[in-house]
Amino acid sequence: MNYDVIVDCYTDEPSGLGVPPFLSVHSRYIAGTLEDNKRKYYYLTIDDLRFNAGETHDVASYNKRILNVTKNKNDVRNILANAENIYIVMGCFVKYEYVSAEPPSFVEVEELMKEYNCNKLLFYSLGGNELTRENIRKTVPQGLFSDIIFGNTYNYFIGEKNNKFTPNYDRLRTIAISSSSILNQLSRPLVIEVETAIGCNRKPGCTFCIEGMRGLPLQFREIEDIVAEIKSLYDKGALYFRLGRQPNFYAYKNCNPNAIEKLFQRIWEECPNIKTLHIDNVSPHNVNTLEGVKITEIIAKYTTAGNIAPFGVESFDPKIRELCNLNGSLDDIHESINMINKYGKERGENGLPKLLPGINIIYGLDGQSNKTLDYNLTNFRKMLDSGSWVRRVFVRKLTSPYGEQFDKYTKDKLEEFEYWNCKIRKEFTIPMLKKVFPVGLVIKDLRMEMFRNGDSILRQMATCPVRVVIKNTELKLDDFYNVRIIGYIGDRTLLGEVL
Ligand code: SF4
């Protein structure tokens, strides 16, 4: 038949998220190229395939493996059986327990796809060199995919087959606009991830980073191209956006505050009723500067409350910072945290601080010793003592550039990693959570996202949203609620009551 199918198996990259409730650029830009070429396509998620295979929900819990079905869920077999090409999109950097989605393994993809004999291409969002290809070839079931494609998905369709990662922002201009057609096939609201740039503005970069491996020069999309993309999605009903696909938002147009302000102004002029406009990925060395101060003020002013600037701190151990060429000094990091607090700590209409920093830490970097955790904890304590707030801490293991599913860790390392997590959680994340979300605080516009063991789990449609559990109640999926905080369940989970 004369159509293709995109099967979204979800992506989670160092810069760019595409696990529900987020929609990645990868599937969307395939949709955009097909639409541009007047080629009919269907968009399916892995959840559609599981639903088609007979998976069901439980009485006391939703099955998150089938929660993100599309409008095509009842016609999956027919759609796949008659497709000319199937484009499978996947690549998750870490093995993470997502609230309401579950990315598949290669084995599961094989199980669900093996009966369909058409041309099946894997678009893999991580890695990007021949080593990645070799590793994936060794891991994925033989013969399942006719080819594995890396880099920008749209490059494959516009004939740039040897130019996988270099963006073609001229061609992307129309592709990005056409990509909004994908929304016609979605059945639930998503946060749309938007790309603003590619490449790192530090040379040489951090030793472990995927951007360095890809070696791309820094390139920016034009303001009007980004605005036109968001407008086309907004016109089709999208209300939640994150400018998250770039290694460092502050680097946009070479750290140009005027350009960043213009970008936000134009987005609001064209799309005045957007409900979420957030960012992701920030290098602290660009925050504690004259331009950085202005950019911080602009982000706090123009984005919606609950925004987070996650810093790739990675480690507070000076030896690691030097060995791995990490960005910014420890003073830069602390001053950047204080500065973001100065402009962003005030609460917005939805009850959340407008803009707060986040901290990313990596376990297993070169130079790590038994002093490293102490360095991290000492600096976390300094943040608590300073009165500044931090919205979320993410501790992850060092992974190979093609994703954690290709890595092996010894039992000792896994135990030590867990110990790190517990210590940081207990000594920093939970005390900080209590400061940012005190008992009695009212938070608005939380979406009912998941029902588990008789409890409802709500989150805002936002970047790194906190979870709020409403005990012994099944609220209506995808409805929005205002809640009051009445307690704490974990390092990122609050107990609430519906108002
Ligand atoms: S600053 Fe470091 S971690 Fe961030 S993109 Fe550049 S090389 Fe990668």
- Inter-residue contact 396 to 360 (CB < 8 Å): yes
Mean pLDDT of 137-142: 77
Cα–Cα–Cα angle for 10, 14, 20, nearest 5°? Answer: 30
pLDDT attached to residue 161: 66
Is the Cβ atom of 200 under 6 angstroms away from ligand 1? yes
Round the average pLDDT of the chain to a whole number and report it. Answer: 94
Pocket residue to mutate for ligand 1, from 165, 245, 283, 396, most atoms within 8 A of Cβ = 283
CATH code at 442-498? 2.40.50.140
The rounded Å distance from CA 438 to ligand 1 centre is 34
Atom of ligand 1 nearest to the CA of 202: 6
| pLDDT tens-digit series, residues 281-304 | 999 989 999 999 999 999 999 999
CATH topology of domain 189-436: pyruvate-formate lyase- activating enzyme (3.80.30)
What CA–CA distance (Å, rounded) separates 104 from 116? 18
- How sure is the predictor about 216, in pLDDT bands with cuts at 50, 70 and 90? confident
Domain segments of the chain: what residues?
1-187, 189-436, 442-498
pLDDT attached to residue 429: 97
What CA–CA distance (Å, rounded) separates 413 from 419? 10
pLDDT attached to residue 1: 67
- In this structure, the residue with its CA closest to atom 2 of ligand 1 is 206
- DSSP category for residue 465: P
pLDDT attached to residue 184: 97
| pLDDT tens-digit series, residues 142-191 | 788 898 888 899 999 988 766 678 899 999 999 999 999 999 999 999 99
Pocket residue to mutate for ligand 1, from 206, 208, 280, most atoms within 8 A of Cβ = 206
- How sure is the predictor about 129, in pLDDT bands with cuts at 50, 70 and 90? low
Is the Cβ atom of 327 under 6 angstroms away from ligand 1? yes
Give, in words, the CATH class of 1-187. alpha beta
- How sure is the predictor about 215, in pLDDT bands with cuts at 50, 70 and 90? confident
Helix (H) or strand (E) holding 445: strand 442-452
Mean pLDDT of 258-274: 98
Return the SS3 of 68: coil
The rounded Å distance from CA 200 to ligand 1 centre is 6
pLDDT attached to residue 64: 97
Is the Cβ atom of 281 under 6 angstroms away from ligand 1? no
pLDDT attached to residue 403: 75
Mean pLDDT of 186-205: 93
Residue scoring higher pLDDT (405 or 20) = 20
pLDDT attached to residue 232: 98
pLDDT attached to residue 297: 98
